[in-house]
Chain A
Amino acid sequence: MDLVTTFFNWPIFVRSLPLLLDGLWRTIALGFLSIVLGLAGGLMLALGRMYGPRFLKAVIIAYVDVFRALPVLVWLVIVYYALPFVGISLSPFASAAFALTTVSSAYTAEIYRAGIDAIPRGQFEAAQAIGLSAFDLMRDVVLPQAIRIVIPPLTNNSINVMKDTALASVVAMPDLLKQATQAQALAANPTPLIGAAFLYLLLLLPLVRLVAIFEKRLGRSGRR
């Protein structure tokens, strides 16, 4: 067998494609959901950490530290295999979404915090001086400025979350990687794995490019 028929076997690829696409959609759904929930959760955590009562701050700091230190795979396995022992039994998809969201929130919280920290004190003071409420201050003044700063690192984090969805195959979720290994076993040929790799690249390369463009643009306006 030569290289092409081993790794790039077209008939096998075509035959496995429905399975791969089925996995791809589940990967996208899982990634998208975890990214969106992680973006929202992180903002809550960041605001709680910056402006909440002392007790809440301490809890959030501990949360963020723990989830940045804990390997995602370990956390996912705990959610799926250990939580049933205390009566919490989640489907593979829900387990994966929960694990990815909780971890992603810890990272996005730090990104938001850095973004809000980067807004000059004078902006807060000017907003307070005209009597804006804390909510309006955030909505109209601080967050619109912080968002420009946090978009590149948030996009980066989203890429990581999307990549981490592949871990869900460990808890038997039929995501892209799981379906590819399935197809590989079926065909006794690694072509579906190569196909899956291509699909991951197809999904994520544009995002990676986007981050590079963001960073270039931000660097340029920063130099102004």
Chain B
Amino acid sequence: MTTVTSPSPIISMRGVTKRFGEFSALKSIDLDVAPGEVVVLLGPSGSGKSTLIRCINLLETYDEGDVVVDGIRVEEGRNLRQVREEVGMVFQAFNLFPNLTVRDNVALGPVRVRGLSWQAAREKAQALLARVGIGEQAEKYPIQLSGGQQQRVGIARALAMEPRILLFDEPTSALDPEMVGEVLDVIRTLAGTGTTMLLVTHEMGFARKVADRIVFMEAGEIKEIASPDRFFTEPSSERARAFLDAVLNH
């Protein structure tokens, strides 16, 4: 599913511009993502990757342009909740709720947003936790888990809302090296299940394996969009080449 010309993209960004004061973090971004597609965002630190994906569920507001998710314009108002129900997010710092057990971290969304009973939501949470390999940790509090386990809770929490789109912002960057694999394994099983994914990562090998398309950003602009094979073997932009040199050869 590497096509850019899908008839109806599930995410469509047109001329999206974001400023922090005088500084433009995003400069007229155009990007379409097809349903089920896995898009990996690459680029140097500060290039606007986080800002871009955070515009999709409006954790960041944008100043110009349009972000449309499944036909709904992403903006403050009644429709925002609908967008957020469809878009799950996994954070670099996990952002689990420390006041809730692992199971209730996962169950909270379904109860409050989907209207499930606590019992039904907890059963669902238990199944999801088992699916990401930490079913036996359900009664614990987040602080009692390792980083890798916590991030898997983060993924289960996002999955509990049955989102059509999953956003990952450097999901393994805060992990000790020995825990990166377990989290990437979970993410890999999600790719190709029909869930649309936008993923920011510095794990180049993983990006190449899992991505349908690579989006390369620099200084708030998309400099290149390519298939992973093409991007990693013969990037067309000078910038991308320099970036790959820097991250792959050290």
Interface residue ranges, A against B (CB under 8 Å): 120, 122-123, 125-133, 136, 140-141, 144-145
Q: Which residues of A contact B84 (CB under 8 A)?
A: 128-131
- Given A125-B59, A136-B112, CB of A131 within 8 Å of CB of B85: yes
- Does A131 contact B95, Cβ atoms closer than 8 Å? no
Question: Which residues of B154-208 are within 8 A (CB) of A?
Answer: 157-158, 160-161
Q: Which residues of B contact A129 (CB under 8 A)?
A: 57, 59, 84, 87-89, 158
- Other than the known A125-B91, A126-B89, A130-B157, what 12 A-B pairs have Cβ atoms closer than 8 Å? A125-B59, A126-B91, A128-B57, A128-B59, A129-B59, A129-B87, A130-B108, A130-B109, A131-B84, A140-B97, A144-B99, A145-B99
User: Interface of chain A, helix or strand or loop or mixed?
Assistant: helix
Interface residues on B, range: 20 to 34
Minimum C-beta distance from A121 to chain B (A): 9
Minimum C-beta distance from A193 to chain B (A): 47
Minimum C-beta distance from B98 to chain A (A): 7
Selected A-B contacts with CB under 8 Å, 25 pairs: A122-B91, A122-B93, A122-B95, A125-B59, A125-B95, A126-B91, A126-B95, A126-B96, A128-B84, A129-B57, A129-B59, A129-B87, A129-B88, A129-B89, A130-B108, A130-B113, A130-B160, A131-B113, A132-B108, A133-B112, A140-B100, A140-B108, A141-B99, A141-B108, A145-B97
Minimum C-beta distance from A20 to chain B (A): 44
Minimum C-beta distance from A146 to chain B (A): 10
Question: For the complex, what is the distance from the CA of A145 to the CA of B161, rounded to whole Å?
Answer: 23
Closest 9 A/B residue pairs (Cβ):
A130-B109, A126-B95, A122-B95, A131-B84, A129-B89, A131-B113, A144-B99, A136-B112, A131-B85
Question: For the complex, what is the distance from the CA of A131 to the CA of B57, rounded to whole Å?
Answer: 9
Minimal Cβ-Cβ distance residue in B for A140: B108
Residue B81 lies at the interface, judged by CB distance under 8 Å to chain A = yes
Question: For the complex, what is the distance from the CA of A140 to the CA of B96, rounded to whole Å?
Answer: 12
